[in-house]
Amino acid sequence: MQSLSVTLGERAYPIHIGAGLLDDARLYAPHAGSATVAVVSNAVVARLYLERVTRALEQAGVARVATVLVDDGEQAKSWTGLDRVIDGLLAARCGRDSVVVALGGGVIGDLAGFAAAVYQRGIPFIQVPTTLLAQVDSSVGGKTAINHPRGKNMIGAFHQPLAVIADVATLDTLPDRELRAGIAEVIKHGFILDLQFVGWLEENMGRLLARDRATLEHAVRRSCELKAAVVADDERESGRRAILNFGHTFAHAIEAGAGYGEWLHGEAVAAGMVMAAELSVRSGTLRREEADRIRALIVRAGLPAAGPGLAPERYLDLMQVDKKAAGGQVRYVLLDGLGRAALHAGLETRLVRESIAAALR
Amino acid sequence: MQSLSVTLGERAYPIHIGAGLLDDARLYAPHAGSATVAVVSNAVVARLYLERVTRALEQAGVARVATVLVDDGEQAKSWTGLDRVIDGLLAARCGRDSVVVALGGGVIGDLAGFAAAVYQRGIPFIQVPTTLLAQVDSSVGGKTAINHPRGKNMIGAFHQPLAVIADVATLDTLPDRELRAGIAEVIKHGFILDLQFVGWLEENMGRLLARDRATLEHAVRRSCELKAAVVADDERESGRRAILNFGHTFAHAIEAGAGYGEWLHGEAVAAGMVMAAELSVRSGTLRREEADRIRALIVRAGLPAAGPGLAPERYLDLMQVDKKAAGGQVRYVLLDGLGRAALHAGLETRLVRESIAAALR
């Protein structure tokens, strides 16, 4: 097991990474107390892991473990899904000293985390991510949210977990498509922050796709480390944290334009990163051969390097309502060289349109 | 104009109290910037004040003022009401640098404040309370929430405003019943914190009910001062802040039991305080003549001193799911003498049942 810390003062918390951590009672014990714990999950994940997690919580001294199951998939991140969780917490008579455990992928983490953020004005929660995407990205940093028909993650809160327990053994059963979607965020962390990690990924992509456990563990650990440092610097995304959104302005347009759930988030991010790399080249901050390296790694990971064939104007429309639009002006995360991201505003719409057009199916 | 400050470090904010402040552009100017401002209100309040507030915001330099209207009354504090506000903010293309202005009573403040708390993971807001209850209580302290069929204020956030602008001239048009409901929270602040203020209220209740402006201004100011000190001490209600809930555990049961909207919150608090005073007497912390003084002041304010005639067991049921239940055990705010409140746990259910029964219609 490897452990690292997200240094956020009184909201600091540990991230534990390793195989078989899911039912390690010692990791739950510091947060157990005598309170009720509500495990939020979906039927697929619950069938695989709920019993083990419940047993570990009981061993850790939790008096009562309740379960709240929500629908599988992105559509759970809705008012209906949120109400289902809140209703479950109320039915279980959870109080302010109760703890929510988010057991599942990014959807469960975002939804259960947001429910915890607003239940009785906020109760604590623990992230137990069971997908690569959740382990390397969404479970770390305290962003929680649900979607609105007008835009993804439009309703949410910053709510840091008490702990993140990333059991890489859960990745054994992950569908290939979801594994690749997670790899998209792993390589993103390299692109924006760590050229050396990009090199490591180029060397180890085969082992990563083959789910070699040590390789997975290193990929998760390095991703979490890179992300945690950015989050510690700018918890509420008033500035630098926005670099984590590299490719995401485009990705949100892809997800919304294709209809939520059609594209996995990581797939949309992959194609979005190709567009953002194109934009970086056209803006003069990235060399063409660096963008080619980005595209090549995405393709090697089996990820889409082009977005759905909507009109570029439709993309631009969808991007206007994206929440990263500040004062009506969309800011873009560009690469000032591979491994070094920065925010840019005031880009010519023409360049953005061309960059989208250059990466369509 | 009188101004005081809620001292909460980087979340500190001013409360301005006076007649005619509603359209004082100077009070909005520090928070205007060049952003979009969305005024959230209802049709009744908007007819009276929206134009003036909009003009003041424009004078203060706001580039674009949007309006979002919601239904009148407690039922607006629902998923539907929240979605209406969020949808309005999205339709107005509000970004992270937009500001919400909550123009109205406690319902508007709670709803618009919560919408601001979760819109794009949190944008700032300004409270412009137009009822006495909102001016002396709900607009101060950052509590925002909506209701759930299983309990009042079950879904919410702590989200401090940028400023509170309490224009006592708006109280001129307030229906009598709502004025009295506000007075319930004013006298609560005396009961729990300030014996001298109780004396002042006993002397000045006539002038208060007659809406003498100087008397109103003092009542609002002293209430805000008392509440602000408690909030500054314990922002997220991990301890002492709970004394502000004196009478509220009973009040929430009254509101839920009678059906939301039947009783005004302040009316329920009045009857709830009589029950809590009864419980204090029966627990030996308050003298009978002090409880009589509480009851007498409530009656003089024209407020109900007894709850609806439900079975006491029904009250107890409703109180179990109240959010102040910690670990399944309901804690009560009792008076350790008039003007001095404290939290008590582990009270005998028999005493609680008797106290309810002693204050039923």
Q: What is the pLDDT of residue A152?
A: 83
pTM beyond 0.90: the answer is: yes
Quote the mean pLDDT of chain A. Answer: 94
> Do residue A197 and residue A323 come from a single domain?
yes
Which of A36, A118, A158 lies nearest to residue B156, judging by beta carbons?
A: A118
Q: Could you tell me which residues come within 8 angstroms of residue B82 by beta carbon, excluding any fewer than 6 positions away?
A: B111, B114, B115, B146
Please tell me the distance from the alpha carbon of residue A269 to that of residue A250, in angstroms, as a whole number. 8
Q: What is the pLDDT of residue B34?
A: 64
Percentage of residues of chain A with pLDDT beyond 90:
87
Is the pLDDT at B260 greater than 80? The verdict is: no
Please tell me the distance from the alpha carbon of residue A330 to that of residue A316, in angstroms, as a whole number. 10
> Do residue A19 and residue A76 come from a single domain?
yes
Q: Which residue blocks in B17-127 are alpha helix, DSSP H? A: 25-28, 43-59, 79-91, 106-118
Residue B254, Cβ density class (10 Å: 0-12 exposed, 13-18 middle, ≥19 buried): buried
> Do residue A71 and residue A122 come from a single domain?
yes
Best probe of the B interface among A114, A118, A244, A252, by most B CBs < 10 A, is: A118
Chain A residues lying within 8 Å of B114, measured CB to CB: 118
SS (H, E, C) A223-267: HHHHHHHHHHHCCCCCCHHHHHHCCHHHHHHHHHHHCCCCCCHHH
| Boundary (domain end) residue, out of B135, B151, B173 | B173
> Do residue A342 and residue A212 come from a single domain?
yes
Please tell me the distance from the alpha carbon of residue A117 to that of residue A113, in angstroms, as a whole number. 6
Assigned token pair, B77? 């504090």
Asked whether the beta carbons of residue A328 and residue B143 sit closer than 8 angstroms, the reply is no
Asked whether the beta carbons of residue A143 and residue B121 sit closer than 8 angstroms, the reply is yes
**Which CATH number do you get for residue A186?**
1.20.1090.10
Q: Is A119 an 8 Å CB contact of chain B?
A: yes
> Do residue A75 and residue A200 come from a single domain?
no
Asked whether the beta carbons of residue B95 and residue A326 sit closer than 8 angstroms, the reply is yes
> Do residue A249 and residue A114 come from a single domain?
no
Q: Is B154 an 8 Å CB contact of chain A?
A: yes
| Boundary (domain end) residue, out of A137, A172, A207 | A172
Reported as a single tens digit per residue, the pLDDT across A299-349 is 999 999 999 999 999 999 988 755 454 455 678 999 999 999 999 988 999
Is the pLDDT at A196 greater than 90? The verdict is: yes
Cα–Cα nearest to B292, from B242, B345, B234, B335: B335
Is the pLDDT at B325 greater than 60? The verdict is: no
Is the pLDDT at A56 greater than 90? The verdict is: yes
Domains identified in chain A, total number: 2
Asked whether the beta carbons of residue A154 and residue B83 sit closer than 8 angstroms, the reply is no
Q: Is B233 an 8 Å CB contact of chain A?
A: no
Is the pLDDT at A66 greater than 90? The verdict is: yes
Reported as a single tens digit per residue, the pLDDT across B212-259 is 999 999 999 999 999 999 999 999 998 999 999 999 999 989 988 998
Asked whether the beta carbons of residue B86 and residue A154 sit closer than 8 angstroms, the reply is yes
Is the pLDDT at B324 greater than 80? The verdict is: no
Q: What is the pLDDT of residue B327?
A: 52
Q: What is the pLDDT of residue A170?
A: 97
A245 is catalytic: yes
Q: What is the mean pLDDT of residues A187-206?
A: 98
Please tell me the distance from the alpha carbon of residue A183 to that of residue A302, in angstroms, as a whole number. 10
Is the pLDDT at A138 greater than 60? The verdict is: yes
Single-letter residue type at A25: A
> Do residue A250 and residue A329 come from a single domain?
yes
A262 is catalytic: no
Question: Where in the sequence is the domain holding B120, given as residue range(s)?
Answer: 2-173
How many Cβ atoms from other residues are within 10 Å of residue B20's Cβ? 12
Going by their DSSP bridges, the two strands B64-70 and A64-70 should be labelled as unpaired
Please tell me the distance from the alpha carbon of residue B114 to that of residue B111, in angstroms, as a whole number. 5
Write out residues 25-64 of B within 8 Å (CB-CB) of A: 34-36
Torsion A177-A230-A330-A152 (CA) sign: positive
Quote the mean pLDDT of chain B. Answer: 94
Cα–Cα nearest to A290, from A352, A335, A250, A244: A335
B126 touches B203 (CB < 8 A):
no
Please tell me the distance from the alpha carbon of residue B136 to that of residue B131, in angstroms, as a whole number. 9
Cα–Cα nearest to B223, from B269, B181, B186, B194: B186
> Do residue B169 and residue B181 come from a single domain?
no
Percentage of residues of chain A with pLDDT beyond 70:
97
Is the pLDDT at A241 greater than 80? The verdict is: yes
Chain B residues lying within 8 Å of A325, measured CB to CB: 93, 95
Is the pLDDT at B326 greater than 50? The verdict is: no
> Do residue A166 and residue A181 come from a single domain?
no
Chain B residues lying within 8 Å of A150, measured CB to CB: 87, 90-91
Which of the residues A84, A218, A221, A248 is marked catalytic?
A: A248
Please tell me the distance from the alpha carbon of residue B208 to that of residue B204, in angstroms, as a whole number. 6
Asked whether the beta carbons of residue A154 and residue B79 sit closer than 8 angstroms, the reply is no
Q: What is the mean pLDDT of residues A161-173?
A: 97
Single-letter residue type at B328: G
Q: What is the pLDDT of residue B320?
A: 73
Which of the residues A241, A282, A295, A331 is marked catalytic?
A: A241
A-B CB pairs within 8 A amount to: 111
Q: What is the DSSP letter of B136?
A: I
B237 is catalytic: yes
Please tell me the distance from the alpha carbon of residue A128 to that of residue B120, in angstroms, as a whole number. 24
Reported as a single tens digit per residue, the pLDDT across A274-298 is 999 999 999 999 999 999 999 999 9
Cα–Cα nearest to A76, from A11, A14, A147, A125: A147
Q: What is the mean pLDDT of residues A171-193?
A: 97
Give chain B's length.
361
> Do residue B244 and residue B307 come from a single domain?
yes
Asked whether the beta carbons of residue A148 and residue B236 sit closer than 8 angstroms, the reply is no
Residue of B nearest to A117 (CA): B157
Cα–Cα nearest to A352, from A331, A323, A338: A331
Residue of A nearest to B328 (CA): A95
How many Cβ atoms from other residues are within 10 Å of residue A196's Cβ? 10
State the nearest Cα–Cα gap between B172 and chain A, in angstroms: 33
Q: What is the pLDDT of residue A326?
A: 47
A329 touches A346 (CB < 8 A):
yes
Q: What is the mean pLDDT of residues B177-200?
A: 98
Assigned token pair, B162? 């940028």
Reported as a single tens digit per residue, the pLDDT across A18-42 is 999 999 999 999 998 768 999 999 9
Single-letter residue type at B141: G
**DSSP string covering B237-303, please?**
-SSGGGGGGTTHHHHHHHHHHH-BTTB-HHHHHHHHHHHHHHHHHHTTSS-HHHHHHHHHHHHHTT-
| Boundary (domain end) residue, out of B173, B188, B213 | B173
Is the pLDDT at A354 greater than 90? The verdict is: yes
Reported as a single tens digit per residue, the pLDDT across B52-79 is 999 999 999 999 999 999 999 889 999 9
Q: What is the pLDDT of residue A149?
A: 87
Phi, psi for B31 (deg, rounded to 5): -115, 10
Query: Dmax over Cα atoms in chain A, in whole Å?
Result: 60
Assigned token pair, A297? 């790694």
Assigned token pair, B68? 């979002």
B106-118 vs B79-91: helix crossing angle, rounded to 10: 60
B248 is catalytic: yes
**Which CATH number do you get for residue B61?**
3.40.50.1970
Q: What is the pLDDT of residue A310?
A: 94
Residue of B nearest to A322 (CA): B95
> Do residue B25 and residue B70 come from a single domain?
yes
Q: What is the DSSP letter of B233?
A: H
Chain B residues lying within 8 Å of A328, measured CB to CB: 36, 93, 95
> Do residue A341 and residue A244 come from a single domain?
yes
Which of A91, A122, A324 lies nearest to residue B157, judging by beta carbons?
A: A122
Q: What is the pLDDT of residue B328?
A: 56
Q: What is the pLDDT of residue A107?
A: 95
Asked whether the beta carbons of residue A158 and residue B122 sit closer than 8 angstroms, the reply is yes
Q: What is the pLDDT of residue A330?
A: 75
Please tell me the distance from the alpha carbon of residue A128 to that of residue A257, in angstroms, as a whole number. 30
Q: What is the mean pLDDT of residues A132-144?
A: 96
Asked whether the beta carbons of residue B155 and residue A86 sit closer than 8 angstroms, the reply is yes
**DSSP string covering B137-199, please?**
IITSS-EEEEEETTEEEEEEEE---SEEEEEGGGGGGS-HHHHHHHHHHHHHHHHHH-HHHHH
